[in-house]
A and B are shown apart, each in its own frame.
Chain A
Amino acid sequence: MKFHIQQAVRAVILLAFSAMIANLHWTGELTKYINPKYDNLSKTAAILFFMLFLVQLTRVVSKTTQHCHHHGQACCSQHDHGQSPFTRKKMLSYFIVITPIITGFFVPAKILDAAIADKKGASFILAQQSQNSKIEDYLTSNETIDENIYDEHEPDPRLMEEKQEMTKKQYDRLKQQLSQQTMLKMTDEDYTIYYEEINHNLANYLGKQIQLKGFVLKEEDFSQNQLVISRFLITHCVADASIVGFLSEFVEAPTLKEDTWIEIVGTIGQTTYDGTILPVIQIDNWVTIEQPESPYLYPINIRMSF
């Protein structure tokens, strides 16, 4: 019987990877790294790591000291089977592999903040998002808005079932309903629909009341009373986060620091920034709030029937 120390080290590392991912699941921290929609993918990773760990266990102890006794293993020297001597260089590569496991267990996840938003060029993205707005629709659509003033709309629970999924038809109907309300309450679930709709058909929403929350973001070229109430939109993982948000104006803006979370009620107007027309919210009421449990937004999946 021979005990292979390196094979044991490898087995422990595989188990630790599996445990690290499982731990992120249990503590709910995983949503701070990836879109919950991809939960199952990372669960698969944890299971695969565990499976590899079990297989690896069989190599920790061998009956003989003879190398390459498996024909399947086929004595290939294309990669290291963990049987060559333990050198300092090897230490280094094990160290690299272990690093994310340790930091994954002990370093808390950080919610992306204004500093990252700045690196991503927030103002550029804001300015361009509304470029497709159809301002010319304003005159024709303005008259028909008022029909259903009292149709207070709550997000339809059937549409918003857990997975952020809806069919194209439901999506279109929701957009249709939106343009008929006078007070837009933006929840995390339907934020992206409202956002896209307001930016694309700004004219339909001018003068309407809006309620939303987000964190404060400022740009150097903003005037004193301006700030952006922004959120990060996560498609897959926080590495692909992009910024969504509304330019807002109010007198007390200078008193608010970046990264402060606020909830506001305001009126939608329009302004030009960098030569493009974009929505601006004149804030009537605001209050600072705690950072929400789930600070990120996730895009809605529209189920397609091609």
Chain B
Amino acid sequence: MDRLQLPKLNFWLAFIFIISLLPVLLMNFSELKSFSSSLLSLHTIFLSILIEALPFVLIGILIAGFIQIFITEEHIERWIPKNTLLAVVMSCFVGALFPACECGIVPIVRRLIAKGVPIHAAIGFMLTGPLINPIVILSTYMAFGNNLKIASLRMLIGFVIAIVVALLVSLFFKGSQFKNSVALQPVAKDDKQTSFITKLINTCKHAVDEFFDVGKYLIIGAFLAAFVQTYVSTKALVEIGDGVSSSILVMMGLAFILSLCSEADAFIGASFSSLFSTHSILAFLIFGPMIDLKNTIMLISVFRLKFVLWLVAFVAIVVYVSLFILSPYL
């Protein structure tokens, strides 16, 4: 799988490296000092994002390994309804019950699709998983002054948006949408006599392979998010967002580049709550857990670039349009 994507990786690394070197050449001593201090800040934020995400990613890859070893294509075929709408609603519902974070869920979704889950159902699951779960509900409730309104609107609108996006995906995309290099091959069935312990050990072995597939993208994503946080001013972005439409766009952009964990983003969202109106705060709270910089990088590692771009566009457009329409009522 490495052959196709690594030239791109090389390119981006070189690009980032050169960009971050450029200012150094133009600096005097005091600027150099503040630059090195900002690099240390960058590193601290980078590592903290990573440390925060790793437990969830590890749990994600273990679940992915578990799916690989214990669940067969026949199970999937039996469980997922043939009807597209039913399949989407069901998968969104399962995602809502399933506590996950937006980076930990990528390996799970990849494994599900490999096992034959249709792409629309897998995407529905991926969108609601990080957005709707008890921890997120509680933290949103607390962040907005123990007010249920934002928390319930976040879940409700988010759920509907996830269904719409998954249906859009079902209209335009078929098949696994994996990159060519991640081409699917039929997975051989487990021997009936394989013992449970062996199966567990194989689950872990799969998890290890999955970690080395996904880990580098998580690390690059965390680095980019930290880079943006250190060098791009939120203030400048916030100053753009005045009207209804531009404020929604600004908050969605903010959610994308900050790449916050869905359990922590409510407090950041709340800190903008008098600067922006409810609908743009909701845009921040709904868009962020579905799509952000960190998990887009991870999606690119699994899916075709074209598919990822369309998916991001679908989510962005649906979130934007629905909150724009709802804005007079919120």
Chain A interface residues toward B at CB < 8 A: 10, 14, 17, 21, 24, 30, 32-34, 38, 41-42, 44-45, 48-49, 51-52, 55-56, 58-59, 70-82, 87, 89-90, 92-93, 96-97, 99-100, 103-104, 107-110, 112-113, 115-116, 118-121, 123-125, 128-129, 131-132, 233, 235-240, 242, 299, 301-302, 304
Top 6 nearest A-B pairs (CB, nearest first) are: A72-B202, A121-B235, A236-B264, A110-B40, A33-B48, A55-B204
On chain B, the residues within 8 Å of A33 by CB distance are 44, 47-48, 51-52
The 7 sampled A-B contact pairs (Cβ below 8 Å) are A17-B54, A76-B114, A79-B213, A103-B43, A118-B233, A119-B230, A242-B268
Inter-chain contact B220/A96, CB cutoff 8 Å: yes
CA distance A6 to B198 in the complex (A): 22
CA distance A70 to B201 in the complex (A): 11
Inter-chain contact A71/B233, CB cutoff 8 Å: no
On chain B, the residues within 8 Å of A87 by CB distance are 2
Inter-chain contact B142/A80, CB cutoff 8 Å: no
Taking A14-B211, A71-B188, A78-B185 as known contacts, 19 extra A-B pairs with beta carbons closer than 8 A to each other, sorted by chain A number, are: A10-B212, A21-B54, A58-B201, A71-B194, A73-B206, A78-B114, A87-B2, A89-B3, A110-B41, A112-B41, A115-B37, A119-B233, A121-B238, A124-B238, A235-B264, A238-B45, A240-B268, A242-B271, A304-B141
Inter-chain contact B142/A72, CB cutoff 8 Å: no
User: B267: CB under 8 A from chain A?
Assistant: yes
CA distance A256 to B202 in the complex (A): 61
Classify the interface of chain B: helix, strand, loop or mixed: helix
Of B34, B41, B265, the contact of A240 (CB 8 Å cutoff): B265
On chain B, the residues within 8 Å of A100 by CB distance are 46-47, 50, 219
User: B191: CB under 8 A from chain A?
Assistant: yes
Q: Which residue of B lies closest to A128 (CB)?
A: B274
Nearest chain B CB to A50's CB is how many angstroms away?
Answer: 11
Inter-chain contact A79/B2, CB cutoff 8 Å: no
User: B208: CB under 8 A from chain A?
Assistant: yes
Inter-chain contact A304/B138, CB cutoff 8 Å: yes
How many A-B Cβ pairs are below 8 Å? 224
Given the interface contacts A33-B44, A112-B41, A128-B274, does A78 sit within 8 Å of B190 by beta carbon? no
Inter-chain contact A55/B205, CB cutoff 8 Å: yes
Inter-chain contact A107/B43, CB cutoff 8 Å: yes
Given the interface contacts A89-B6, A128-B274, does A239 sit within 8 Å of B204 by beta carbon? no
Inter-chain contact A118/B235, CB cutoff 8 Å: yes
CA distance A121 to B216 in the complex (A): 31
Task: Kindly name the residue among B44, B138, B190, B216 whose own CB sees the greatest number of chain A CB atoms within 10 A.
Answer: B44
CA distance A152 to B234 in the complex (A): 41
Of A30, A55, A113, A119, the contact of B51 (CB 8 Å cutoff): A30
Inter-chain contact B48/A79, CB cutoff 8 Å: no
User: B10: CB under 8 A from chain A?
Assistant: yes
User: B322: CB under 8 A from chain A?
Assistant: no
On chain B, the residues within 8 Å of A119 by CB distance are 229-235
User: B317: CB under 8 A from chain A?
Assistant: no
On chain A, the residues within 8 Å of B231 by CB distance are 119
Nearest chain B CB to A9's CB is how many angstroms away?
Answer: 10
